[in-house]
Structure 1
């Protein structure tokens, strides 16, 4: 900056400072009052009231005290001595020795601020106090009507305490009435909605499952529920029919039972297609309402056709298996079967105890109660053998009870065998996994070494696969002795993922043989997991809903497709085999949750009949043969047989004005 410029800057700065000093010396100052002791109810150091106005304010204050024994003190000052209104008022109240029934209205006429300090009686609500101050006091202060502000404060408090306040009791009564009315309306609305839904669902149950037009007119909620019901029904029917058919094949041979095997295979195919539709509806990809409706109608129709095909064979099947012929010999054979299966129980108990001592509970969860359930089934079978013999003592034409008893005993013995077999199969599966685990881990180590050599060529996919494989290897090495099944599964899965990544970075021909070995292991894993889930569902199907069955059906479909494409497209086959194993695991978890929910809804009895209901031997409310006429025993229970499903939850307020 040049010298002339500096001289001009200094001159301007001096002039500015001089002008500011003159302005400050000439500006008026607001007189302020320090906090004071109130000697009378109305104090006016600011001098804004004449004698008449002072008397008006004093009269209102006196009236408030006469009516409510509440002391209101009013003071008008020019300013609050540089303090906040609240602090000035509280200090004045303290100096004046105010108690619980003293209120102070402090007004600073030139500061344009006020404050009401003290304990407001409980009869005056916050909204009433706001109405007094904001609706009456502040407008009077803004207009300079100082006396009116004091009068309005006293009169407002008086009116509120004399009846203008809110009757808390009345409010509670009104509130309770409102809650009761609202609750009643909600309950009524829910009741109507539930009744409407139940009526819609009942209508859906009565419709011909192949009447697509009528089904399309039903609400989606009813269609969703009905679709799940039909899936459970047809799956139970197929499983029960399969058990009956196996008995018939052993009795009459494969040739004589061909029509029934064909009908059952067709029903299985149709059920698998229906479960695939349900899986599509349950997946993470949403469908529009119209798409959902179309799929649900198709699902119900598919199940209905399968159900009818099974029912069409019931008469011929029952004629072939006329259980009254040679019934006494059948009962004797069933008694021998009970003895044979009962003799297996101690060995199964020992095996289960041995497994429990060496494996975590999660490994044995699917079979932990199999021995107990087998006992229940055998007890139920014995009861039915006795009932069958008693029925045979009745006159000819009145021995029909023997048929139901024989069927129930056969089914119970068959399930008892399956339950004990599952214990033995678990031991075999665990041993198979334990025996195969070292080879899988060695293969995984070799593949990790190969993947390390290909790190520059594999990209992100190979890097991710290597990380996952290392983690699986460490986990399997640590837990293989106590949980070989999970270790085997995790290692096979990680190895398969790593192999796919390696295959993308190496010659496909050289990787093919390794891929084939992984595929075989993945198929073994999938078959084992599907078998465990299927055994669990079959022996507890009375308490399992559609979700577990849907996942299991999808697992089986993926396994079938993996096996079909294993020769031509092993990469796709491997993907499908892994999907099958994953879905089977999800099916088992869903089934276990469903059984727990089923058991929670019933009083714990441990009776043989309860076990038979859970096992699907006795069908509750789903009596077989409804499409062609109900055929059931008394009491609403029936043993399942071959055929379709029809047979088988201190205040202060104030501010500026």
Structure 2
């Protein structure tokens, strides 16, 4: 008999079909219970298959398998285990070794599994699991044996487990998590004891396959019944109620996170540190990309260039938000100062004045600061996602001797350039005032320190190679290469400044002639007070430049003439036709943009080579100046007048950025020099290594012989890409640096 479809329109009408369905459900539940009981009885005698499944490569011996993996392990061969604990890195004290032995004994006594633990210094770039598998095969470990290999210098580990080990994928993942947490905290003994205890707990909780199958079958039937009941009877009532509940709840409210626990000043400091860190990382990645491009060509690095552009876009947005906060604070402080003055006049506006938006209400500052941090994290994630791929592209593990040799080969040439550059600066100092050369005056000395540091890093790298510590050698090679690259950048900056000053002196004559013509045109207009004021200011500018021309700053002269000409052009705009106004604005814009580009280059080079000291405020002004210059260039073809305003604003911002960056760098050098002085009574002496007021420290190349960059990057990776000057990635500060007082020391062997 076929049931009529109309039957479904009356769910409460009694029928024999419904009663039959419940009988089927009851029978299914009974089957599940019987299966569970049967499997529980079988569990007493069946705990594992009587014939284990074939292992990996069952027809090959362990020695043959290890030999076949030689291409995977070119520099770090597997080892043969002779004891449960092999400590080749000296990671354990005697008491800690006893703890590890006790944990392994507990595992062996309470389960059928055994665990072996190996400590080495480095996997030398080999995948940790591959290394552990090769050692397990060579040692002839069976399906009930596990091998945990830990590289203390790399902060990496690999867990080798046979395919037939009685542990699920989820249980193995839990064991990995326990070990990862301990390795990250450098608890070497804890990594082994946590792993052994996790395996022991997992095996204790493991049940037989039949029991699992029976429980799964019964559970599936029960879920099917519950699902049918909910769909048939409860859903029509619950869904409308749930929809009404969603509309009545606070949908869209922000989800609390750890930043909510910070005070606004703490959040402000976190945002500042995040900006400095990710900006350092971008600069390091740019330098590393330059090395890779020179070695491998543009085609090989194009994907990484796109990744860098994506991260840069996030960082620019973060800096723009920071600039808005600072400008809002400056406006608030300006209003406050105006109210405080007896005559009610306002103070002069300073671009981006204020301290991290301190005058804004907390309720307004917090979401913006959160967004800054989120954008920095997004950029760091973008870079970190390609760290391993970039390292693999450059093959630094295999090419370390070549990189170290290249630094030694190029170093004499760069050293010779230092003397030439110093002579160039001496000649410039005879023609221009000190302020004109302030951004490059210390470049030869900084380059010399970097070259000394680079040679010391090469020596340390070669010693690490001889000791078989390839990861440490790679770090020193990175540091040496970055130091040499920064030295070249410093010397190039002096040459570029010399060329630009020479060109500026020639352009100054043309600018004076142009402004003189405008003054003459303004004299012909009578009765306009605005034109008269602009003409008077232009005449004063011409007089000042004429007086200070010999031995003065041509860049400052150009800027003064350009400002006066812009003001006079604006006053005379009503007396000229539209075509002439646009043409004069275009000409003035070209001159202004050319000067801004040079200022941006100088300041960007200064920040890049002193990034160990320059704080977030200077970087924010520089980033905003770059943005304003880009806006000016985009408006140049269509609206030269508006573009000129953007270019003039960019000029003010980059000057402010340069002033702040110099102040930050001077503060670090001064503080470090003061702390290096011995006590006045003669009893004290500076640290045996001495504070480094330049070189790698000032250049942001943090070389710490006790910290090695790990390929498994933690969330607290070191600033600027990590140890040895970093690679592609990084951007998360290990601590909140208070810039302006940060200090570092070079290792004693480098003296």
Shorter-chain TM-score bucket reads 0.5 to 0.7
Q: Greater Rg, structure 1 or structure 2?
A: 1
Deviation of 1:285 (Å): 2.9
Equivalent in the alignment of 1:102: none
Aligned mates of 1:229, 1:211 — CA distance in 2 = 23
Equivalent in 412, 418, 435 of residue 362 of structure 1: 435
Aligned mates of 2:513, 2:718 — CA distance in 1 = 59
Distance 1:384 1:623, change over 3 A: closer
Aligned mates of 1:216, 1:339 — CA distance in 2 = 54
Equivalent in the alignment of 1:549: 619
Equivalent in 300, 303, 306 of residue 262 of structure 1: 306
1:237 aligns with 2:281: yes
Distance 1:340 1:456, change over 3 A: same
Equivalent in the alignment of 1:36: none
Aligned mates of 2:393, 2:302 — CA distance in 1 = 12
Distance 1:463 1:297, change over 3 A: farther
Aligned runs of 1:393-542 on 2, under 5 Å? 393-395=466-468, 398-457=469-528, 459-460=529-530, 462-482=531-551, 483-542=553-612
Gaps of 5+ in 1: 1-209, 650-657
Q: 1:352–1:423: 8 Å Cα contact kept in structure 2?
A: yes
Q: Normalised by the size of structure 2, how large is the TM-score?
A: 0.55
1:323 aligns with 2:390: no
SS in 2 for 1:256: helix
Aligned length: 434
Aligned mates of 2:256, 2:554 — CA distance in 1 = 50
Aligned mates of 2:437, 2:406 — CA distance in 1 = 33
Distance 1:407 1:419, change over 3 A: same
Aligned mates of 1:254, 1:647 — CA distance in 2 = 31
Aligned mates of 2:296, 2:426 — CA distance in 1 = 40
Equivalent in the alignment of 1:645: 731
Deviation of 1:385 (Å): 1.5
Aligned mates of 2:403, 2:708 — CA distance in 1 = 25
Deviation of 1:301 (Å): 1.0
1:591 aligns with 2:677: no
Deviation of 1:588 (Å): 0.6
Equivalent in 285, 289, 312 of residue 362 of structure 2: 289
1:570 aligns with 2:640: yes
Equivalent in the alignment of 1:49: none
1:613 aligns with 2:697: yes
1:388 aligns with 2:461: yes
SS in 2 for 1:366: coil
SS in 1 for 2:612: helix
Distance 1:520 1:455, change over 3 A: farther
Aligned mates of 2:590, 2:555 — CA distance in 1 = 16
Aligned mates of 1:452, 1:411 — CA distance in 2 = 58
Aligned mates of 1:609, 1:384 — CA distance in 2 = 18
Aligned mates of 1:531, 1:291 — CA distance in 2 = 34
Q: 1:493–1:522: 8 Å Cα contact kept in structure 2?
A: no
Equivalent in the alignment of 1:250: 294
Deviation of 1:472 (Å): 1.5
Aligned mates of 1:601, 1:233 — CA distance in 2 = 22
Aligned mates of 1:401, 1:624 — CA distance in 2 = 8
Aligned mates of 2:659, 2:652 — CA distance in 1 = 11
Aligned runs of 1:71-220 on 2, under 5 Å? 213-216=257-260, 218-220=262-264
Q: 1:308–1:627: 8 Å Cα contact kept in structure 2?
A: no
Deviation of 1:467 (Å): 2.8
Equivalent in the alignment of 1:48: none
Distance 1:409 1:468, change over 3 A: same
Q: Once the two structures are superposed, what CA deviation does each residue of 1:379-401 show, in whole Å capped at 9, x if it has no partner? A: 11111122222222223xx2222
Q: 1:619–1:638: 8 Å Cα contact kept in structure 2?
A: yes
Aligned mates of 1:488, 1:618 — CA distance in 2 = 40
Equivalent in the alignment of 2:317: 273
Equivalent in the alignment of 2:422: 349
SS in 2 for 1:526: helix
Aligned mates of 1:607, 1:366 — CA distance in 2 = 23
Q: 1:381–1:413: 8 Å Cα contact kept in structure 2?
A: yes
Distance 1:212 1:360, change over 3 A: farther
Q: 1:448–1:469: 8 Å Cα contact kept in structure 2?
A: yes
Deviation of 1:501 (Å): 2.4
Q: Once the two structures are superposed, what CA deviation does each residue of 1:394-414 show, in whole Å capped at 9, x if it has no partner? A: 23xx22221011111111111
Q: Once the two structures are superposed, what CA deviation does each residue of 1:514-570 show, in whole Å capped at 9, x if it has no partner? A: 211100000011101111111111100000110100000000000000001101111
Aligned mates of 1:358, 1:262 — CA distance in 2 = 44
Q: After the TM superposition, which of the residue ranges 243-252 and 611-620 deviates more from structure 2?
A: 611-620
Distance 1:443 1:609, change over 3 A: closer
Deviation of 1:598 (Å): 1.4
Aligned mates of 1:647, 1:601 — CA distance in 2 = 22
